[in-house]
Amino acid sequence: MLQQEAFDTETLVPGYREPVLPTGEPDAATVAASETRTRQWSGRARERIKYGSDLHKQMMCEMFAETFNPYRPSVLKWPTLDEAALHRITSLPIWDIAVQTEGKARLRMAAYARTVADPEIRNALAQNAWEENRHKEVLSKMVQHYGIPLVPEPAYEYPKDPEWAYLVTGYSECIDSFFAFGLFKVAHDSGLFPPELIDTFEPVMQEECRHILLFANWVAWHRAQLGLFRRIAFEFKVFRVWCFLGLERMELAKGLDANGNEHAQDNNFTVTGAQSVTEQELSVAALMTCCLRENDRRFSGYDERLLRPTTMPFLVRCALPVLKFFERRKQRRTG
């Protein structure tokens, strides 16, 4: 059963005020307007920006505030599913990890936001934590509605090093969202899921895009604030975060957790589990091409002067020719 513990960003982050959401059910025009606002944003200043400058900071914080989508998890519609669709949804091996990821992310972001001296950045990061909590609420509503069984959630521990925890969360989101964008598109196109259900999750997907856009710009801004020695220490930390995430994903790929317990549900879902969301034969190269395309599409509406996360798209672009080569070779051998 899902834990319904209270999570209060306002208490965790001094000075933060959570948004007041409109009450009642929004009409179609209001939903469409929020959808557009959340996907498209340009800064008012026309000049080029220097990364790390006050203008850069202002721009990223304004982007984050002005693209906020005020949906309310409690009014989301959960369509009635036929037996096959219900089975498909409940057996997707992602719900435990999704719920727990949001649970960890909200606390880690709030814990780091609390340590940030700059009020605008603190507020943006706190807002991000609040939105992660809203994602968890969306998932909890869905899990309840469809009776999806979950393992008990672990206790979420307040991080000892909030900056480390924030970096781990931010870079994880950059990796996971890149693949999630592609999988979501595959699920959308497969016709195996009711369009209403896809629509319900669409704002959550776009919100992750906003989150990693904020994160990429925060990293650049933060770097520029550091003197030489703190900068070196920070880069070393970032390097360790990437090593940690790489190892974590390899462990997950093996289906084992840190304690050596076998997990039926894991992050490795991206590649091995793509077949659960479509009936089409899908090669890894085709899936990666789709992830790249969706990644570009989701970021395309935001001011081009803001930085985008680049590591995953870069790695996948490098890997694609190799993947295609092996797939062609396999086809020749089997065909």
Task: Name the site residues for Fe ion (rule: CB under 5 A).
Answer: 102, 132, 135, 173, 208, 211
* Nearest residue relative to Fe ion (C-beta): 211
Least gap, CB of 74 to Fe ion (angstroms): 18
Q: How far is the CB of 209 from Fe ion (least distance, A)?
A: 9
Determine contact, residues 182/287, Cβ cutoff 8 Å.
Answer: yes
For Fe ion, give the closer residue by CB, 153 or 327.
153
User: Residue 104 or 114: which CB sits closer to Fe ion?
Assistant: 104
Tell me how far, at minimum, the Cβ of 326 lies from Fe ion, in Å.
33
Please identify, using beta-carbon distances, which residue of 102 and 294 lies nearer to Fe ion: 102
**Minimum CB distance to Fe ion, residue 303 (Å):** 20
Q: By C-beta, is 102 or 285 nearer to Fe ion?
A: 102
- If you write DSSP's letter for every residue of 156-219 in order, what string do you get? PPPPSSHHHHHHHHHHHHHHHHHHHHHHHHHHHHHS-S-HHHHHHHHHHHHHHHHHHHHHHHHH
Of 67, 178, 77, 182, whose CA–CA distance to 128 is shortest?
67
Q: Indicate the burial class of 204 (C-beta count within 10 angstroms; 0-12, 13-18, 19 or more).
A: buried
Write down the least CB distance from residue 135 to Fe ion, Å.
Answer: 4
The distance of closest approach from Cβ of residue 162 to Fe ion in the complex, given in angstroms and rounded to an integer, is 16
Q: By C-beta, is 170 or 278 nearer to Fe ion?
A: 170
Nearest CB to Fe ion, comparing residues 212 and 291: 212
Cα 78 to Cα 73: distance, rounded to the nearest angstrom: 11
Residue whose CB is less far from Fe ion, 114 or 210: 210
CB 312 within 8 A of CB 175: yes
Cβ distance to Fe ion smaller for residue 137 or 163: 137
Smallest distance from Fe ion to CB 132, Å:
5
Angle, helices 119-146 vs 95-115, to 10°: value is 160
d(CA 91, CA 78): 17
Give every CB contact of residue 66 below 8 A, 6+ residues apart in sequence: 37, 41
Contact status, residue 313 vs residue 178, Cβ threshold 8 Å:
yes
Burial degree of 282 (CB within 10 A; 0-12, 13-18, 19+): middle
User: Smallest distance, Å, CB 144 to Fe ion?
Assistant: 18
Contact 118, 125 (CB under 8 A): no
